[in-house]
């Protein structure tokens, strides 16, 4: 398999015949991988394709059942993460492993202290950080508390931690999931800088655009196997997507033009102040009509979650709400017992929540118990004073079949399904009730491409049946592909509305960063780091 | 994927824990110069070797079933009810007030009324911590523990100042009238022409306890309330999403839990002592925690675990009576069983899980 980089050189990483099984599940099958020194290597694949398992083996979390790992040409056994660090491997996890109330400096030396006293380590680290910052453009205030940093800066701290530990090989797991476009661009500049200094970088992602933009080589995984390793320059997104799923997929959602009808949901002046007194929603006005999908774009943490929770009837405890909600011309209460999730369901609002594992499902319940969750008061599920479990189970079987939920076993606990199938359980439950309004948050987060396509089709079908859909997603591609109208949220406000056929990524990116390009020139489009109450910002530099 | 087969989870794990507890108990008995084999023989003989022994074992079992079920129901709602002791004590007050209030003509009439009184008082005693937890966020473990002490003090006051018959020097209520005397299991056996367990306290409440197991099973796994209790216990954010009120579930689960603990008083106060005395619960409320943990929070498991602890209680008593092993050592043995089956559950479970995973890999 051809790969970029000088062929005569010893590769930074070489994997030979790596296999790993969890019980009957073969997570990695006979994987070969060669990553030349000084390159950025993308690893792409659907969820459950085995990317994370492979990287966990490389970082010493799992022992492979078979196979060999060579670092710099020498075979080594990586028993734990300490051994991986000694071998020069650094890992930046998707969910940062930072102590929130420590400073940047304290986080960097954590676990790498020189001795019992902190002061010498801290001053040594301060010098090292200064050097790294100027070398790679990794500027972070060493004395800032991590909790006060933007997400982009927190990620830099993770990278600094790895570099401080002399990492020559850096593994990044889905690094751009939480970043603004500007922050992602900055990250890519840093990564290119690191590569040019001779570091080797492995980038795990499911975003084809990132692969094309930044990697030198790309390896595709499918069902535990490495199906291809190619030079990025010699391939394209369509080919990679096909390799990932093993068949052609539609990168665009096919949908007939929308025929919007009467307003279904009208939101007027919706404000929410959370228990800490932070204003999360600052006067939201929205109208969603029957037969249309309104997409809400925005960087995570700008009030989208709160908007969904308020509409779905479960704002966080202690929140103060104000404003007006009307569903099909009838006012919905904002507070009190008539404003809970059950009342909202009865009014005709279905809700696929952003966090399916914490909210949408009871992970220890069986699939069939989960298919009634939230609708367990429905008259057809009752049998006198008892619940009609046989009926619920039959109903679940029906949903499993029509949504192709795999494995088709209603007695399996929800936690034992893959992410995509878990999401199908939630979507089946909410969509099959035929709600007048469907709230759907991050519908395809952590979901494989096959399931994404299926879920998108269901959303469009619901809209074509004359229902209203409110879609919240941090995936701009998804918003662009599905929405009939796009509203961008920033700092608890709707910054602007666009039609998808007119909107450009740059235009939306500006709105997402809190700047209306129609009003302000884009150069000023970067807000100060760590603006209060948001995760946005920090893209400067 | 399941980590290990269900039978290993529900049977093998507690059995190994139990074996470990008994093993260490044997070492302790050896250390004080007694024979563990002899001790075990005395315990088995004393608790299970005769209908007399069984009569006591089943009496204790009945107590532990109620308190075990109480802990179990609260546990499914994610609440740790440590207050079974106090709730059962208050249940006793409920029984005494109901029984002494009216001249009941027959026990069959008094029993349902006393059961309602016991359940009501137990439930109300659990309601205050539940409300404090649901509304004010006061941790239920702390409040239920404190309510045990308040219950003891309250009972002390009520017995000494209100319920004590005039002229009595004993801090106890008046004797219950003979009409409300609950049939003992031995009486019932005699009715069938069998001589069984003469002079033992096991009584008709044992069957109520078994019925309670069945009803609790129905409640938790077959009713909407049980569904909501389990959902809330597993994930509060998900419960909120589904429109399940945390306040309502916390209060209802604790009411049921308290009522079950209170019902124990039917057995010890009405069935055995036939008057309300100080410290009538004798630690059964705390044993209920171990029973629920060892019974894996399932009514059938609770029944089996209650039987085991009934055996330990009765067998321990016999041990103190017939050997020179001091009474305190019986407490040590019971504590070891609680420690291993309850607190150190994972110590056995995790190696077992690894073993089964390894076996499966080999088989695959």
ipTM: 0.87
Give the pLDDT score at A531: 40
The contacts of residue B84 (CB under 8 Å, 6+ apart) are B67, B70, B71, B261, B284, B285, B286, B288, B289
CB-defined contacts A:B, below 8 A: 81
Task: Search chain B and give the residue with CA nearest A365.
Answer: B231
The per-residue DSSP string of A250-272 comes to -SS---PPP---SEEEEEEEEEE
Cα separation, A125 vs A112, whole angstroms: 10
Q: Compute how many other C-beta atoms are within 10 angstroms of the C-beta atom of residue A420.
A: 22
CA distance B235 to chain A (A): 7
Q: What residues does A34 pair with on adjacent strands?
A: A14
Tokens of B127: 């309601």
The segments of chain A whose pLDDT lies below 50 read 1-6, 248-250, 521-541
Residues of A in contact with B235 (CB under 8 A): 358-359, 362-363
Distance of alpha carbon B181 from alpha carbon B196, whole angstroms: 19
Indicate the burial class of B242 (C-beta count within 10 angstroms; 0-12, 13-18, 19 or more).
buried
Select from B238, B355, B357 the residue whose CB has the most chain A CBs within 10 Å, as the one to mutate to test that interface. Answer: B238
Question: Which of B241, B355, B357 should one mutate to test binding to chain A, selecting the residue with the greatest count of A CBs within 10 A?
Answer: B241
List of residues 6+ apart from A409 with CB closer than 8 A: A367
Nearest-neighbour CA in chain A from B133: distance (Å): 14
Asked if residue A412 belongs to a domain, the reply is: no
Q: Is the dihedral of CA A168, A173, A178, A180 positive or negative?
A: positive
Q: What Å distances lie between residue A183 and A186, A193, A509, A528, A537, CA to CA?
A: 5, 15, 11, 13, 8
Q: Are the beta carbons of A341 and B238 separated by less than 8 Å?
A: no
Say yes or no for a CB contact (<8 Å) between B243 and A355: no
In a domain, A279, yes or no: yes
Phi, psi of A15 (to 5 degrees): -110, 135
Hey, which residues does B156 pair with through a beta bridge? none
Is the minimum CB–CB distance between A314 and chain B shorter than 8 Å? yes
B322 touches chain A (CB under 8 A): no
Q: Closest residue of B to A374, CA-based? A: B242
Alpha carbons A386 and B279: distance in angstroms, whole number: 39
**Would you call the peptide bond into A407 cis, given omega within 30 degrees of 0 as the criterion?**
yes
Rounding to the nearest 10 degrees, give the CA dihedral for residues A483, A485, A488, A492: -100
CB contact under 8 A, B241 and A377: no
Minimal-distance CA residue of chain B relative to A364: B234
Residue B9 at interface with chain A, using a CB cutoff of 8 Å:
no
3-state DSSP helix/strand/coil % of chain B, to nearest 5: 75, 0, 20
CB-based contact A363 B235, cutoff 8 Å: yes
Q: Which one has a higher pLDDT value, B96 or A138?
A: B96
Residue A425 lies inside a defined structural domain of this protein: no
Tokens 């925005």 belong to residue: A298
Query: What span, in angstroms and rounded, lies between the C-alpha atoms of A177 and A299?
Result: 10
CB contact under 8 A, A24 and B360: yes
3-state secondary structure of B50: coil
Q: B231 and A365 in contact by Cβ < 8 A?
A: yes
Mapped onto helix, strand or coil, the DSSP state of residue A16 is strand
Look up the CATH number of the domain holding residue A318.
Answer: 3.40.50.300
Query: What φ, ψ does residue A361 adopt, rounded to 5°?
Result: -135, 155
**CB-CB contact of A303 with A489 (8 Å):** yes
- pLDDT score, position A332: 95
Count of domains forming chain A = 2
A25 in contact with B, Cβ within 8 Å = yes
Give the closest-approach CA distance of A64 to chain B in angstroms: 13
| Phi–psi pair at A326, nearest 5 degrees | -130, 130
- Distance (Å, whole) CA A430 – CA A344: 12
CA distance A363 to chain B (A): 8
CA B329 from centroid of its chain's CA atoms: 22
Percent of chain B whose predicted confidence (pLDDT) is above 70: 99
Q: Are A129 and A108 in contact (CB under 8 A)?
A: yes
Go through A131-143 and write b for each residue having 16 or more CB atoms within 10 A of its CB, e for each that does not: ebbeebebebebe
A273-281 LR contacts (CB < 8 Å, sep 24+): A273/A319, A273/A320, A274/A306, A274/A316, A274/A318, A274/A319, A275/A316, A275/A317, A275/A318, A275/A319, A278/A532, A278/A533, A279/A492, A279/A533, A280/A306, A280/A319, A280/A492, A280/A533, A281/A306, A281/A307, A281/A310, A281/A492
pLDDT above 90 for B14 = no
Strand, helix or coil at A460? helix
Determine the residue of chain A that is closest to B358 in CA distance.
A23
C-beta separation of A482 from A459 below 8 A? yes
Q: Do B357 and A23 touch (CB under 8 A)?
A: yes
CB-CB under 8 Å, A22 with B1 = yes
Are residues A337 and A276 located together in one domain of the fold? yes
φ and ψ at residue A475, rounded to 5 degrees: -85, 110
Domain match, A281 and A137 both: no
Contact A365 B230 (CB under 8 A): yes
**Residue A39 domain flag:** yes
- CB-CB contact of A74 with A230 (8 Å): no
Contact with chain B for residue A257, Cβ under 8 A: no
Q: Sort strands A279-289 and A263-273 into parallel, antiparallel or unpaired.
A: antiparallel
Put simply, whether B361 touches A (Cβ < 8 Å) is yes
Q: Which of B1, B240, B242 is the closest to A416 by Cβ?
A: B1
Which residue range is the domain that position A327 belongs to?
263-348+435-524
Distance separating alpha carbons of residues B225 and B349, to the nearest angstrom: 31
In chain B, whose CA is at the least distance from the CA of A65?
B361
Q: Residue range B303-328: average pLDDT?
A: 88
**Residue A95: its pLDDT value, please?**
77
Contact in structure between A74 and A144 (CB atoms under 8 Å): no
Taking contacts as CB-CB distances below 8 angstroms, the residues of chain A near B1 are 22-25, 416
When scoring A336, A386, A414, A441 by the number of chain B Cβ atoms within 10 A, the one with the most, hence best to mutate, is A386
In this prediction, residue B11 has a pLDDT band, given cuts at 50, 70 and 90, of: confident
At B63 the pLDDT is: 97
Task: Tell me whether strands A293-297 and A320-327 are parallel, antiparallel or unpaired.
Answer: unpaired
What part of B 245-264 touches A (C-beta under 8 Å)? 245
Would you call A354 an interface residue with chain B, using a CB distance cutoff of 8 Å? no
Asked if residue A468 lies in contact with residue A347, where contact means CB atoms within 8 angstroms, the answer is no
A45 plus A184 within the same structural domain = yes
For residue A420, being part of any structural domain is answered with no
- The answer to whether residues A64 and A139 belong to one domain is yes
A312 vs B218: CB contact, 8 Å cut-off? no
Mutation pick from B76, B243, B357, B359 vs chain A, by most beta carbons of A within 10 Å, is B243
pLDDT class of B69 with cuts at 50, 70, 90? very high
* Cβ neighbours of A416 in B, within 8 Å: 1-2
Give me the pLDDT at residue B220, please.
Answer: 97
Q: What is the pLDDT of residue B296?
A: 86
Coil/strand/helix, residue A169: strand
**Chain A contact for B1, CB < 8 A?**
yes
Q: Which residues of B touch A376 (CB under 8 A)?
A: 224, 227-228, 242
Closest to B213 measured CA to CA, from B132, B131, B298, B134: B298
A83 C-beta neighbours (distance < 10 Å), count? 14
Nearest chain A residue (CA) to B359: A23
Measured between beta carbons, the chain B residues lying within 8 angstroms of A415 are none
Question: What's the CA gap between A77 and A96, in Å, rounded?
Answer: 26
Query: Domain map of chain B by residue range?
Result: 66-280
Which neighbouring-strand residues pair with A493?
Answer: A490
Same domain, A222 and A181: yes
> In chain A, which residue's Cα lies nearest the Cα of B218?
A386
For residue B78, name the pLDDT band (cuts at 50, 70, 90): very high
Residue of B nearest to A24 (CA): B364
CA distance B255 to chain A (A): 19
User: Contact A343/B240, CB-based, under 8 Å?
Assistant: no
Instruction: Inform me whether the C-beta atom of residue B364 falls under 8 Å from chain A C-beta atoms.
Output: yes
Strands of the sheet containing A89-92, edge to edge, are A89-92, A169-173, A200-205, A40-45, A217-222, A225-231
Q: Which chain A residues touch B241 with a CB distance below 8 Å?
A: 312, 314, 341, 351, 353, 359-360, 374
DSSP annotation of A228: E
3-class state of residue B305 by DSSP:
helix
- For the residues B288-297, what does the mean pLDDT come to? 89
Check whether residue A296 and residue A234 sit in a common domain: no
Residue A519 CB partners (closer than 8 Å, separation 6+): none
Q: Which residues of A touch B227 (CB under 8 A)?
A: 369, 376, 387
Listing DSSP states for B107-128 in one string gives HHHHHHHHHHHHHHHHHHHHHH
A516 CB-near residues (< 8 Å, 6+ apart): A495, A496, A510
| DSSP H or E stretch at residue B353 | helix B345-363
Question: Please, what is the Cα angle at B63 between B321 and B329, to 5 degrees?
Answer: 35
Beta bridge partners of A222: A225
User: In angstroms, how far apart are the furthest CA atoms of chain B?
Assistant: 78
Whether A175 and A28 map to the same domain: the answer is yes
pLDDT at residue B182 is higher than 60: yes
C-alpha distances (whole Å) from A117 to each of A104, A110, A114, A508 are 18, 12, 8, 49
Selected for mutation to probe chain B from A25, A343, A373 (highest B CB count within 10 Å) is A373
Q: In terms of pLDDT, which residue wins out, B15 or B227?
A: B227
Contacts of A301 (CB under 8 A, 6+ apart): A151, A534, A535, A536
Asked if A373 and B242 come within 8 Å (Cβ–Cβ), the reply is yes
Q: What is the rounded distance in angstroms from the CA atom of residue B271 to the CA atom of residue B264? A: 10
B266: closest CA of chain A, how far (Å): 27
Provide the 8-state DSSP code for B157: H
């Amino acid at each position: 398999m051809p790969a970029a980089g000088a062929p005569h050189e010893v590769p930074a990483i070489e994997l030979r015949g790596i296999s790993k099984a969890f019980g009957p599940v073969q997570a990695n099958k006979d994987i070969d991988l060669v990553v030349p020194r000084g390159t950025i290597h993308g690893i792409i694949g659907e969820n459950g394709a085995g990317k994370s398992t492979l990287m966990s083996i490389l970082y010493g979390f799992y022992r492979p059942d078979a196979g060999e790992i060579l670092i710099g040409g020498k075979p080594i056994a990586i028993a734990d993460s300490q051994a991986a660090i000694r071998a020069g491997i650094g890992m930046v996890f998707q969910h940062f492993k930072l102590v929130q109330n420590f400073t940047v400096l304290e986080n960097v030396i954590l676990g790498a202290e020189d001795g019992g006293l902190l002061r010498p380590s801290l001053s040594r680290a301060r010098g090292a950080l200064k050097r790294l910052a100027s070398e790679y453009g990794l500027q972070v205030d060493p004395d800032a508390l991590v909790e006060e940093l933007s997400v982009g800066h927190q990620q830099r701290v993770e990278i600094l931690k790895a570099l401080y530990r002399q990492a020559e090989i850096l593994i990044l797991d889905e690094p751009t999931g939480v970043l603004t476009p500007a922050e992602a661009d900055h990250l890519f500049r840093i990564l290119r800088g690191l590569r040019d200094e001779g570091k080797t970088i492995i980038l795990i992602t499911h975003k084809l655009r990132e692969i094309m933009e930044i990697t030198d080589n790309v390896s595709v995984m499918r069902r535990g196997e490495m199906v291809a390793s190619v030079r990025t320059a010699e391939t394209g997104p369509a080919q990679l997507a096909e390799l990932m799923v093993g068949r052609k997929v539609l990168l665009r959602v096919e949908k007939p033009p929308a025929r919007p009808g009467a307003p279904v949901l009208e939101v007027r002046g919706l404000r929410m102040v959370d228990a800490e007194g932070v204003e999360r929603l600052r006067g939201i006005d929205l109208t969603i009509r029957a037969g249309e999908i309104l997409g809400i774009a925005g960087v995570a943490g700008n009030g989208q979650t709160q908007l969904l929770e308020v509409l779905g009837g479960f704002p966080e405890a202690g929140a103060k709400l104000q404003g007006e909600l009307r569903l099909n011309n009838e006012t919905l209460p904002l507070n009190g017992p008539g404003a809970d999730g059950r009342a909202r369901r009865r009014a005709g609002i279905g809700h696929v929540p952003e966090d399916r594992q914490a909210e949408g499902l009871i992970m220890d319940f069986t699939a069939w118990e989960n298919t009634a969750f939230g609708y367990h008061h429905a008259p057809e599920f009752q049998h006198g004073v008892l619940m009609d479990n046989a009926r619920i189970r039959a109903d679940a079987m029906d949903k499993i079949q029509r949504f192709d939920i795999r494995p088709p076993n209603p007695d399996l606990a929800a936690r034992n399904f893959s992410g995509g199938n878990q999401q199908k359980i939630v979507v089946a439950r909410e969509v099959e009730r035929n709600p007048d309004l469907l709230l759907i948050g991050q519908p395809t987060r952590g979901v494989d491409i096959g399931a994404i396509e299926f879920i998108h089709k269901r959303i469009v079908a619901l809209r074509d049946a004359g229902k209203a859909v409110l879609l919240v997603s941090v995936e701009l591609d998804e918003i662009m592909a599905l929405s009939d109208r796009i509203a961008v949220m920033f700092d608890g406000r709707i910054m602007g509305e666009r039609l998808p056929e007119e909107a450009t990524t740059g235009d939306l990116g500006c709105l997402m960063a809190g700047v209306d390009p129609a009003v302000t020139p884009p150069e000023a489009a970067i807000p100060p780091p760590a603006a209060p109450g948001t995760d946005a910002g920090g893209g400067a530099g | 994927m399941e980590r290990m087969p269900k039978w290993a989870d529900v049977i093998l794990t507690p059995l190994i824990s139990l074996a470990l507890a008994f093993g260490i108990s044997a070492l302790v008995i050896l250390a004080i110069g007694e024979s563990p084999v002899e001790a075990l023989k005395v315990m088995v003989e004393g608790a299970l070797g005769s209908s007399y022994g069984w009569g006591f074992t089943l009496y204790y079992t009945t107590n532990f079933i109620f308190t075990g079920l109480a802990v179990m129901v609260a546990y499914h709602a994610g609440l740790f009810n440590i207050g079974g002791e106090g709730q059962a004590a208050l249940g006793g007050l409920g029984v005494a007030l109901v029984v002494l209030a009216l001249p009941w003509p027959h026990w069959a009439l008094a029993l349902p009324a006393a059961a309602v009184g016991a359940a009501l008082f137990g439930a109300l005693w659990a309601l205050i911590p539940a409300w404090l937890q649901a509304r004010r966020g006061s941790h239920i473990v702390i409040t239920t523990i404190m309510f045990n002490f308040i219950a003891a003090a309250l009972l002390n006051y009520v017995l000494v100042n209100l319920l004590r018959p005039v002229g009595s020097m004993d801090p106890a209520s008046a004797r219950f009238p003979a009409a409300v005397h609950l049939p003992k299991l031995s009486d019932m056996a005699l009715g069938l022409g069998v001589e069984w367990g003469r002079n033992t306290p096991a009584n008709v409440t044992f069957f109520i306890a078994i019925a309670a197991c069945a009803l609790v099973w129905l409640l938790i796994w077959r009713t909407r309330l049980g569904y909501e209790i389990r959902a809330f216990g597993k994930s509060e954010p998900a419960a909120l999403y589904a429109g399940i009120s945390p306040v309502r579930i916390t209060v209802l689960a604790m009411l049921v839990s308290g009522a079950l603990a209170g019902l124990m008083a039917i057995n010890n106060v009405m069935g055995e002592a036939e008057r309300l005395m100080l410290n009538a619960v004798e630690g059964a409320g705390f044993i209920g925690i171990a029973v629920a943990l060892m019974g894996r929070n399932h009514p059938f498991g609770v029944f089996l675990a209650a039987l085991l602890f009934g055996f330990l209680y009765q067998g321990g008593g016999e041990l103190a009576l017939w050997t020179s092993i001091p009474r305190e050592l019986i407490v040590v043995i019971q504590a070891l069983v609680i420690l291993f089956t309850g607190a150190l559950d994972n110590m056995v479970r995790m190696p077992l899980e690894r073993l089964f995973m390894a076996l499966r890999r080999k088989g695959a």
